[in-house]
């Protein structure tokens, strides 16, 4: 299925599930922030589509790794726009993350570059950073479940407008894969992260979440045969370590689109 339609189905179904949970808990209230929720939904729609395009062209490992440099962009926004103090350790981690991305994407090997894939991954990283900043802002006034319900609702609305509706094929395997994407790739991880933040420090949750590129790359290696060379593995580990440092030295809520 086209990336836009996969993102469309994911957002619409996630909105229905999370919206129903939020409605049951009486957490569906915008309180004058509807435009902010719309902006959040737009970033969520953008990051989802660009991410799916990136992993289809670059592979899961490089696509996830580049997208996960979003915290570096958040760091730059905090320093340049919000004029907040950023520790030297965090800036060092940002530089390490950029180097790691260069190694993962094999930037020095011109004949192996996929320009379209790298552009999609860059858009995913930027929109991911925007999603984090908007979530952090809305998180000061709303429960996480409210933010997710409105975010996926607006994301689904934008994607329904942007892409023609194409129903998935009736192949049971495809339907099972879409179910996996919705339940185990969207709803369950979100709810688990929300539960974790009630038990342990949000910074620690963010550090643990930064290992997503390693888990994704290893899973793609085992399940899809998408092998990474030694240089790419080293770059991925550099990015993970850098993001973990940034998360540990940040007071933001943990990441997770």
DSSP character string of 27-92: ----TT-HHHHHHHHHHHHHHHHHHHHHHHHH-HHHHHHHHTTHHHHHHHHHHHTS-----HHHHH
Do residues 55 and 64 touch, judged by C-beta distance below 8 A?
A: yes
Quote the pLDDT of residue 216: 81
Q: 3-state DSSP: the chain helix, strand, coil percent, rounded to 5? A: 75, 0, 25
Do residues 174 and 168 touch, judged by C-beta distance below 8 A?
A: yes
Q: Which of 98, 97, 126, 101 is nearest to 241 (CA)?
A: 97
Q: Is 32 left (phi over 0), alpha (psi -120 to 50) or beta?
A: left
Q: Which of 185, 240, 234, 190 is nearest to 210 (CA)?
A: 240
Quote the pLDDT of residue 186: 85
Quote the pLDDT of residue 206: 61
Give the Cα separation of 132 and 70 in Å (integer): 8
Quote the pLDDT of residue 255: 47
pLDDT along the chain (257 residues), means of 10: 88 91 88 92 93 88 82 81 80 81 67 80 91 84 88 94 88 89 86 71 63 80 86 84 74 49
Quote the pLDDT of residue 218: 83
Q: Where are the domains of the chain?
A: 3-248
Is the whole model's pTM more than 0.85, yes or no? no
Quote the pLDDT of residue 221: 87
Quote the pLDDT of residue 235: 84
């Amino acid at each position: 299925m086209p990336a836009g339609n996969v993102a469309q189905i994911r957002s619409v179904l996630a909105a229905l599930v999370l919206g129903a949970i939020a409605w049951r808990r009486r957490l569906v209230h915008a309180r004058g922030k509807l435009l902010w929720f719309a902006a959040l939904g737009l970033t969520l729609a953008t990051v989802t589509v660009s991410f799916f395009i990136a992993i289809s062209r670059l592979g899961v490992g490089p696509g996830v790794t580049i997208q996960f440099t979003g915290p570096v962009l958040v760091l730059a926004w905090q320093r340049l726009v919000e004029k907040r103090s950023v520790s030297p350790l965090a800036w060092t981690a940002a530089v390490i993350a950029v180097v790691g991305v260069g190694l993962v994407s094999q930037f020095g090997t011109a004949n192996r570059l996929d320009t379209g894939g790298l552009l999609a991954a860059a858009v995913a990283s930027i929109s991911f950073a925007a999603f984090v900043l908007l979530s952090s802002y809305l998180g000061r006034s709303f429960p996480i479940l409210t933010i997710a319900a409105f975010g996926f609702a607006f994301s689904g609305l934008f994607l329904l407008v942007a892409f023609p509706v194409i129903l998935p094929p009736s192949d049971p395997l495809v339907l099972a894969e879409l179910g996996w994407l919705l339940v185990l790739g969207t709803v369950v991880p979100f709810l688990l992260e929300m539960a974790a933040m009630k038990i342990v420090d949000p910074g620690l949750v963010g550090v643990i979440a930064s290992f997503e590129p390693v888990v994704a790359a290893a899973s793609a290696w085992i399940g899809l045969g998408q092998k990474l060379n030694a240089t790419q593995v080293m770059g991925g580990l550099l990015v993970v370590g850098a993001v973990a440092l940034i998360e540990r030295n940040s007071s933001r809520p943990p990441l997770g689109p």
